[in-house]
Each structure stands twice: as C-alpha cells, then as structure tokens.
Structure 1
Amino acid sequence: MRANPSITTQPDRIAGIVGPVLSVDGLTTSFLVDGVWKSVVRNVSFEVMPGETVAIVGESGSGKSVTSLSIMRLLAKATSRIEGSVILNGQNLLSLSDRQMRDIRGNDVAMIFQEPMTSLNPIFTIGRQISEALTCHSTMSQPEARAETIRLLEKVRIPNAAARFDEYPHQFSGGMRQRVMIAMALASRPKLLIADEPTTALDVTIQGQILDLIKVLQEEEGMAVLFITHDMGVVAEVSDRTIVMYRGEAVESGPTADIFHRGQHPYTRALLAAVPRLGSMQGRNWPLRFPIVDIKTGETTIPIEVADTVDKRKTPILEVRNLTTRFDIRTGLFSRKTGAIHAVENVSFDLFQGETLSLVGESGCGKSTTGRSITRLVQPNSGEVLLDGYNVLNLDPIALRNMRKSIQMIFQDPFASLNPRMSIDATIAEPFIAHRLGTQKQAREKAVDLLERVGLSADMFSRYPHEFSGGQRQRIAIARALSLDPKVIVADESVSALDVSIKAQVVNLLLDLQQNFNLSFLFISHDMAVVERVSHRVAVMYLGEIVEIGPRAAVFNNPQHAYTKTLMDAVPIPDPARRAIKRNTVTTELKSPVRPVDYEIPQRAYLEVTKGHFVQQ
C-alpha cells in the first residue's frame, strides 16, 4: 500500500513496466437467468499498454459495460460467472479474494461511471468523499488528505477548489460532478483508468472539457485508459486502438485509424455510417437523411433526396412573441419570494409549415422550458404563442384541450412517457379516443396504420413498453404523437438517449413523416451534428435567451456569437487525425439563471448579419 498517493507527475513510474498493464484473455461472462447460465460476453481478449488508450465501442447491449464490470469484479457473485483471465500487472484478478480485490480497486485500477450523481453520496461533501478514498488506501492523516484532495480538485480544473471542498454533489453541475469523480479515481494514482461512458450524459462543451482533461492527465500520469463508449466521434479523439463489440463478442479490433478508414465488419461500417459529422451539410439548403448500412450484409442504402416543401410566403403556423417563463424561489417560514429562475426570457421566433427549427444549447439554457411553455405544460409569465392565429396562453381548459390536437410533444425518455401498464395498441389509440375523434374500431385501425408507418409490425400491437428496445419505444412515442394529426411536433431531446445507429433510423423516420404529413418540428437538442442534419433554421439559446438565430447554413458556416462558436468548437469529430488535438476550452460552468427580486432585465438589440441571420449584441 503506498503511503503517499500524490498525483504529481512522475514519468519514471511506468519506466519499469515492459508488458501490458492489462491483459484480458478469453473473458466470458454469464448471468443466471431462470436457473440457466446465459453468456452475455463471449471470449473477449485484448491488451492495454502503459500510457495507451483503448476504446471499446458498441451499442447498448453489446457487452461493453459488462466487460468493464467483469474486469473490476463488480458483478454480483450469486448471479454472475466470469471465466478466462484478467491480468493486471502480473496478477490474475479473477483468482483474488474479495479483500485482495478491494486493495486493487482504487490503488491499481479505478473506474469512472456514466452518471456521477448516482456514484456520489448526496449526504457527504465532495471533499469528504475524495478524502475517504485517500485515507482508505494510505496512512495519510486527515489534514494531509484534505490538502491532497484540494490538489486533486485543482488538478481536474475545478475553480476555487479550496472553497468547494465542503460543498455537496447537488451544488455542482453535471460536468463538475464528473470532474469530482475523475479526481476520486486519480486519488491513489492508478495504473489503469476505466472510463465507462464518462461523457454520454454531458453537454457538448462540458464533454469537450472532460475529454481534454483525460488526455492531459494521462500524459502527466502515464496511465493506461480503457475508454468505453458508443460515440464514434469520442473514440476518434481519444483512442489509440479500438475494439468493436456486437452482441457480446469483439467483432473487430485494431488501430483506431484502421478501424475508421478500413473497417471490415458490416457492424463497424454501420456504426461509422450512422455518425453525424459536423460540416457534412455544406451546399445543402434543407435536411438530409442518414445512409443506413445493413449490419448483416454491410450494404449501404442511401435514402432518396426529396426537395424541400417549406413555403415561407404563407403565415407562420406558430408564432412566439416575447415569451417569458420564470419560476419563483421562496424561502423562510412564510415562503417569501426571494428570487426567480429566469428560465425563458423574451424569446421570439416563427415556425412555418413543413419547417424544422432547432433550439440548441447546454442543459439549463431554457430549451426544454421553451417547448413546455409553448405547449402549456408549464405556465409562462408573459408573451404570446400564436398557433393558427389563436393565442395559446389565453385559452381556457376546454380550448386548450382542443389546441393540443394541433401541437404534440415527443420526450427524451420514451420509457418514462409511456404507461407501463398499457399495451401498445391502447397507448397509441388513447389520444384518439380521449379527443372523441372516432370509434374504438377506427382508433385501432389508425393505431395499426401509425405503428406500421413508424417501422413496427402489427403483431407487436398487444405488447407492453418493457418488451421493446429504446429505439422501438421512441417509435411508439412518435406514433402516439401522430395519432391526433398534429401540425406541430415539439421533439424535446427525442434522439439524445439513443445509440448512434438507432438515432440515425429515428431521425430518418422523423424526416420521412415530415415529408409525408407536412409536419413542422421544433427540434430541441444539444447534439450539434444532428441539428445540422435535420434543420432548416437554428436558434441558439443561452441563459434563457436566444443569442443567435438564422438559416442553418448561415449559423453553422458563419457563427457570430461567442457562445455559438464555443458550441461548434466542442463537437467531437470522427477523425482519428484529431487524436492529439486539444480544444483548450476554458473551464467554466454555465452561469446561473437565478436572479434577485429586483433584477432589471437589460434591453437586448439584434444585428442582422445576413438575411434572416440575427445575433444578439
């Protein structure tokens, strides 16, 4: 056990290591299901050398995370069985006792998980949690552990680290919580860092900061990194070698550049074809569908390009004027108002029939609240929302119910938005019946038609949500939204939680439905590459305000606002040539939208850069 786990740079630390830090041979992991052992990872073998980054890539269910949990021996012993060998610095981890394995974890190998809020204890300060990791694996005193913890927090670029030692996880943003997890993982200077989807839940700018941070720390510490993700853009930027997993098996492996440029397996090519690439829309004026690669044959289907149908000579189908939504903050015994969250501040835009307007920005910028305000799922404070000429904000409950036939919402998590006790036919038919648009028979016929239109078969009609994959559940949510023949659909991060190839299929489906039904989309997302693919126009939001809005080509090719440029620069590009590039983005948190009661709203002016392209001054 090391007495002083300081993370100051010591290049000679790995000088004596000749072989791999980690050697996995014939790893097979099985789970006990209904009394039968079912293998979910089969015969996986790979090595990770000192200072090297190896990425394991694949979609949900491919076995990536189970592989990492098997290496760490974090699976329940009663219901799991791990076979093969996992050699870390000459020791077979699968042959160690539980006590020996506890000493290995944290000392020699550490892990960063996808969701830091579930990994951090909410009732302890972050300083105490990192200090505990230090004192458990060393003979450090409490004062020494505190000083080392502050150095670690500074190492992972947390501003004002000493003052934040005594703060709790909920007081940190998602990106800063992930930095805390990295600091905790580095506390005992492990030789191997396993990062399991460490950036998937983060906004694009925070993701860029975390990727840069891992690169810098790896260079300084000489760590080996096993990086697990389904984001091929991230893989290109961080990994030296890549392993592609599909249904529990490693179907292809090699240097990352070879995988990207000369990938042989159909599944590898399918993953790469589905990756949205920023800049791929040069010279196009309307959305473009993704090419789809057949996983079994490797054959690529290029969707037929269809001419744009947006006619801006007509009156907009949706007009938003000076929309403002705030949430009061009340404190004290008498719940006195002490401030307000300015979630949406003076937002205005038009949406035409058949058009897609994307709202982009980081978490907390007001995108989702704008969508919910327009549909009256939250009550705005002021402004106008005109749908077909009627002000949505002035409608009584009966009129509001009728209005919702014209505007529907698709949410990010379809499992949370679908009733687990209702079969799919009842789920899709329910809005049709609730609005009394026809008989039960007509509702069923419409539901069957919509199910087939979104790419599902009628024999799935009687199943329940838990019997479908994430992509299929999102298709069901889309079918339900279409059951009332809406004119406008608010898609709130509707593809963010999906794997890359499923995301491509759902985006293609939305574009097909837009073409067939002449739908208008308010597409809310933080994925800039997808936004570029699907949008006619783009509005960039920051702290509740639109800071830039214009045609997609104008905003992407000629961004004017500093925040828009920051978003663009942070997008990971699936090009292995960028492996050594660091963005050098400034480590900052998104400013708080909380304002005091007496806060005066500044007057905003917009400059028209080119026709229809406005930027806040």
Structure 2
Amino acid sequence: MHMSPNQTSAEPVLSVRDLTTSFLVDRAWKPVVNGISFDVLPGETLAIVGESGSGKSVTSLSIMRLLAKGTSRIEGEVFLNGRNLLALSDPEMRQVRGRDMAMIFQEPMTSLNPIFTVGKQLVEALTCHGQMSASQARDEAVRLMTKVRIPNPTARLEEYPHQFSGGMRQRVMIAMALASRPKLLIADEPTTALDVTIQGQILDLIKTLQEEEGMSVLFITHDMGVVAEIADRVIVMYRGEAVESGSTEAIFHHGKHPYTRALLSAVPRLGSMTGQELPQRFPLVDIRTGEAEQARPVTVDVDRAAPPILSVKNLVTRFPIRNGFLGRPTGAVHAVEDVTFDLYQGETLALVGESGCGKSTTGRSITRLVEPNRGNITINGVDMRALGKSALRRQRRDIQMIFQDPFASLNPRMTVGAAIAEPYLEHKLGTQAQAKEKVADLLERVGLSPDMMSRFPHEFSGGQRQRICIARALALDPKIIVADESVSALDVSIKAQVCNLLMDLQESLKLSYLFISHDMAVVERISHRVAVMHLGEIVEIGPRASVFDNPQHPYTRKLMNAVPVPDPSRRGVRRNLDADELKSPVRPVGYEPQRGSYREVSTGHWVRQE
C-alpha cells in the first residue's frame, strides 16, 4: 500500500504494519484481516470503509487488543506513539486503553452499565487512569458533559442510561472516551444506529472536539456520505484486504477499484432526483466487471381517479402509562394523533421521521397488530376495524409487513422454505406440492435460488435474510406491503439492491408500498409521495418532487439538512443542528390536543399550520 507524500512530514500517532488477524474456526486459523498497513497522522481523520464482513471492525478491535485470546491471533506491528502495542503485557495494555487511545462503539446502550448512573460511570472513567479525587472527577464529568453538548449536565449526572435517548447516550460514550484526553479516538460505526438528525449532531461534535483537542480519529463506517463529511483520507476494505487508499477527494472522484465504485454507486444522494417524476432504481456498479447499470424509472401507472386501495382517516393510537400498586393510568403516550392519508394501487407512500415520531405505530395500527383508539382504516373498501378475528385473518392476506430486523422475523429452527410456505399453507391456498412450487418461484423473484429452501436463516447474510422476508410477505399475493425500516439495518450496497428489488416487484405485481423510513435520501429515490411525521402527526404530505424541491415545514427542512452528502468538498461544513432531544409524546390522562389545520402549498402538497 503506498504512503501519501504528506505522511513523511510528521510522525504518525498510529502506525499499523502488515496487520493480520485470524480466528480459530474448526481447529484451523482463518484470516479475517490480511496484511493491512496504514498510518494516522496527528489531528488527522482516517476512515476505513467497507461492508459487513470486510474486516474493518476486526481491524479496530485488533488495534485495541479487545479480541478473545484463545480464539484469535494477531500478527504484524501496531505502533502508538512509537510503542508496539502487540508486544505489551495485559496490564500495560490496560493503561494504554482509555488513556492514550479510546474507542466508541456502534451501540451505546450495550457500552453503558444500566444499573449505575451516568455520573458514576463517567467519574469511574476519570479516576481509573488519573490521579483525581472523587470531587475533582465529578467537576470534570460536568465539564465533559458540557463539552459534548448535553443540556443541563449537573442534573443529568444523576440519571441512568435508560433515561437518555440514543443520541444522548452516544454523547455520554464520547465524553467517557475523551475523559483521559487520548491522542487517538477509534470510532466504530458510532452513528449507524442513530437517526439522521442525531447522526448529523454527533458528526459535528466529533469534528469540533477534534479541532479543540487536536485528536487523531480512526473512523470505521460503511456510509460513504459520512466518510465524505468527516475523513481526510480513506482506506477501502473488501474481504479482509485494503483494496484502495488515498485522499477522500481522490477516492470519491477517481476511485479505481470496481468495489470502490460499486460502494459509491449505491449511495443515495439527496437532490439526485430533481426533475424526475417517477422513482428511479439505483444505477449499481457490478463488482466483477466495474460496469454500471442504467438508472431506470419505475413505470407503474398510478390511477388517482380510482378509489384508493388503502384509506386512513383520523387515526389515533395511544398507549396508557400505568403506575402505582393498582396500576391506574397516569398518562398516555400519544403515538399517533389524527393521521389521515390515502394510498393508491402501484404507489409508494413514504412515512418519514425520527425514532419516536409514530411512523412504525401507524404501520402496525393499519394492520391491527396494534389496536388503534379511534379512526377509520379501509382496505379495498373493507373497514379493518369492524372485522372479527377470522375475518381479520382473511383480510390480512391483502396487507403484509416487512420488518427492520430480518433475523428476528424468521424462526431460527425453521428452514427458509418452510418459513415462506407457512402463510400459504396456513391460509389453505394450496397443497404441499403447490406450496413448494410457490416457494421456488418466490425465491427466484427475490434474486435467490430455489435450492436454498432447505437452508436455515443463520446460513444467510443480512441482505439475503431480508430478501427471504420479502418472499414470505409475497406468499399471500398481497396488494399492499408495509415496509417498516426494512432497509435501514443493511449495508449501503445491499440496501440499494433491496430497494431495486422492491421497485422491480412493484412494477411486475402492481404492489402498493407504505415505506416507513428515517432515511430521506432513500425515500427520495423510491417514493411517489412523502408524508413527514413529527410527534405522532403528519406535518407535511405531498408528491415527492414537491416536498423535496420545496419543503415548507421547519421539521422537514431539519431532516433534509441533516442528511450526509457524499461530496468531499463539504468536509468543513457544520450543520449547527440543535442538541435538543426529540420532545416527549407523553401526555397527562384526559389530554386532548387541538386539531391541526393544513394549507395547500401546491397540488396535493399540504403543510400543517404551526
């Protein structure tokens, strides 16, 4: 791997040479990272990019020496400020961790101890390495929480991790990582599990802290939009090897390796659909040949003069909060408040918003997986709320759901063939032989081969498992599919492939989608119309082009400003997003909100009056 010219001018903070990490599998050593070498200079951000299984996280865990001893083997050299970390004893390594280099992980809730207050955990991080008294550590903990922009830090020190939102928990993890002023911060997918606005805040925060502290950052991610915004240099990893490295500009504008180009082609770019009426497939690059597909539009004739296939009127869903010995209701979560929309045959309506805005509850209320409090839901003219149990089961053939986590949606003890056939057989739509034929056809439709039907879910990758869930949803020939964050847990190129698959199926089967997502860039490519949800209400709804080209509601604009743009020229940009947490939808017993009024900005484009 070549070193860039500027790397000789300063001593690197971190220098990795021929790092090879292997795991013991079936009594043989299987290399997962193959001879990777790189430097991180003082104050520099180096991004390691790749998909799940490329070896990027194993690289960071090898540098930190956090892998299990008996089943892993690390070879090569890792120098931090001139010391070879792989030659240190365990006690010496413990001193280095946290003091000289620190790490933040993808899921902050698993990194924090739920039984201790946030303050206690921060104080422990400070007293562990330094010679601080408890009262000095407490003052420093308040200073660190202020530094990572946590509002009201003194009071929040006494709170527990579950009382913080995901974004605020990640801020606490960053505060802990900064406790001993490390020279190197390793950030392993620190924003993947977060909403887009919170992600924007965390990226701004890391940039600002880096400037203030002069820290080097090793940033591990699969999101090329994030890379463009934060990294000075990039290493692209594929199957355990570094296939390309260079400055961020060089990688984005002149990427040579087909895998680099494939990764970039799969990144949804906000604004790329300007002037396009119909949803467009992602123009993916073939990794083997480097050839790019054409971005083709989805040609389904949506007839808005015909009655809608799904009509939702004044939908309200609330969850009571019970406290005390008798479990009396003390309040309610107003998850969905007065939501109204129509969905037509062959159309994709996207419901967008952050976690807690009520979009998933809306999807579950429509299918009556959650019972709404009031409102009308009609599918093909049938009133869903008036149906008894057996009639509801029959009606659910027309509306199916695909969930976010494909592994949790599949029974690990069932073959995928049995899982896909189950709804078909349960509804008595045919014989075992017909079910087998149906499964073979469905597996082919979703880009898998029929001979995979005898395998179990753990034998498939995340993207393949999501395809299996799509096949199962199609087993009953539904008219409507509610896709609840169905691509948000997938790697960027797999996400693009699954989106293309959904669009192909819509074209061939005239499916209607209620596409629930927080990813504005994906929504822009896949949807005909967009509804933006905030605190249980739709604040803006209209044709996709109209909403994206002319966003009227402040919350819609906030969502769009937060989307990472895969353009290296924006690397210095700060979004200055507020560090406020999403307001709570909890209300006292008997609270009834005022009905919102809407104004029509252009044909079919409605905005809630604030």
Aligned partners of 1:482 and 1:111: how far apart in 2? 43
Q: C-alpha deviations, 1:508-562, integer Å up to 9, x for none?
A: 0000000000000000000100000000000000000000000001111100111
> Match for 1:119: what amino acid?
S
Amino acid at match of 1:127: G
Aligned to 1:242: 234
- Normalised by the length of structure 2, the TM-score is 0.98
Q: 1:227 aligns with which of 216, 219, 244?
A: 219
Which residue of the other structure, out of 490, 503, 523, is the alignment partner of 1:498? 490
**Residue 500 of structure 2 is aligned to residue 508 of structure 1:** yes
Q: Pick from 455, 466, 469 the counterpart of residue 463 of structure 1.
A: 455
Matches for 1:62-101 after TM superposition, within 5 Å: 62-101=54-93
- Cα distance in 2, alignment partners of residues 198 and 478 from structure 1: 29
Give the number of equivalent residue pairs. 601
Amino acid at match of 2:416: I
CA shift, 1:292, in A, is 1.7
Q: 1:358 pairs with 320, 341, 350, which one?
A: 350
What is the Cα deviation at residue 306 of structure 1? 4.4
* DSSP-derived class of the 1:301 partner: coil
Shift of 1:303: 4.8
Question: Paired residue for 1:417?
Answer: 409
Q: Is the 8 A contact 2:352 2:533 kept in 1?
A: yes
- Map Cα deviations across residues 128-153 of structure 1 (whole Å, 9 max, x no partner): 10110100111111110000000000
Give the one of 362, 386, 389 matched to 1:397.
389
Give the 5 Å matches for 1:295-314: 295-314=287-306
SS of residue in 1 equivalent to 2:35? strand
SS in 1 for 2:540: strand
Choose from 511, 517, 534 the match for 1:525: 517
Between 1:593-602 and 1:441-450, the stretch displaced more is: 593-602
Task: Tell me, yes or no, if the aligned pair for 2:299 and 2:507 is still in contact at 8 Å.
Answer: no
Residue of 363, 376, 380 corresponding to 2:372: 380
Q: Give 1:174's aligned residue.
A: 166
Matches within 5 A, 1:144-293: 144-293=136-285
Give the distance between the partners of 1:364 and 1:64, measured in 2 at CA: 31
Which among 89, 113, 119 is matched to residue 121 of structure 1?
113
Determine if the alignment matches structure 1 residue 339 to structure 2 residue 331: yes
Kindly provide the CA deviation profile for residues 72-116 of structure 1, in whole angstroms up to 9, marking residues without a partner as x: 000011111000000000100000000000000010000000000
Percent identity between the two aligned chains: 73
Pairwise CA distance, 1:294: 1.2
Counterpart of 1:431?
423
Q: Please state whether the residue corresponding to 1:540 is helix, strand or coil.
A: strand
In 1, distance between residues paired with 2:195 and 2:175?
20
SS of equivalent residue, structure 2 residue 490: coil
| Selected match of 1:108 from 86, 100, 103 | 100
Give the deviation of 1:488 after TM superposition: 0.3
Q: 1:307: Cα distance to partner?
A: 2.8
Q: Are 2:439 and 2:450, in contact at CA under 8 Å, matched by a contact in 1?
A: no
Deviation of 1:327 (Å): 0.3
Q: Deviations over 1:38-77 (max 9, x none)?
A: 1000000000001000000000000000000000000011
Q: Is the 8 A contact 2:262 2:286 kept in 1?
A: yes
Q: Aligned with 2:190: secondary structure?
A: coil
Structure 1, residues 581-617: CA drift from partner, whole Å, max 9, x if none? Answer: 0001111100000000132311210010111000000
CA distance in 2, matches of 1:256, 1:25: 22
Q: CA deviation at 1:184?
A: 0.2
Offset of 1:187 from its aligned partner?
0.3
Instruction: Report deviation, 1:304.
Output: 3.9
| Alignment partner, residue 19 of structure 2 | 27
**Given residue 77 of structure 1, which amino acid in structure 2 is its aligned partner?**
K
Q: Is the 8 A contact 2:280 2:296 kept in 1?
A: no
Q: Output the CA distance in 2 between the equivalents of 1:309 and 1:592.
A: 40
- Shift of residue 255, structure 1, vs aligned partner: 0.1
Q: Which amino acid aligns with 1:586?
A: D
- Cα distance in 2 for partners of 1:323, 1:162 equals 40
Which segments of 5 or more consecutive residues in structure 2 lack a partner in the other structure?
1-8
Tell me the residue number matched to 1:566.
558
Once the 2 structures are TM-superposed, how far is the Cα of residue 34 of structure 1 from its aligned partner? 1.2
SS in 1 for 2:98: helix
Asked if the contact 2:479/2:511 (under 8 Å) is kept, the reply is: yes
Q: What displacement does 1:305 show?
A: 3.5
Q: Residue 458 of structure 1: CA displacement?
A: 1.2
Contact 2:300 2:510 in 1 (8 A): no
Note the aligned Cα RMSD (angstroms).
0.8
Distance in 1 between residues matched to 2:299 and 2:168, nearest whole Å: 44
Question: Which residue matches 1:11?
Answer: none
CA distance in 2, matches of 1:562, 1:291: 32
Partner deviation per Cα, 1:473-495 (whole Å, 9 max, x = no partner): 00000000000000000000000
Unaligned runs of 5+ in 1: 1-16
Instruction: Name the amino acid aligned to 2:385.
Output: L
Equivalent position SS for 1:292: coil
Q: Is 1:47 aligned with 2:45?
A: no
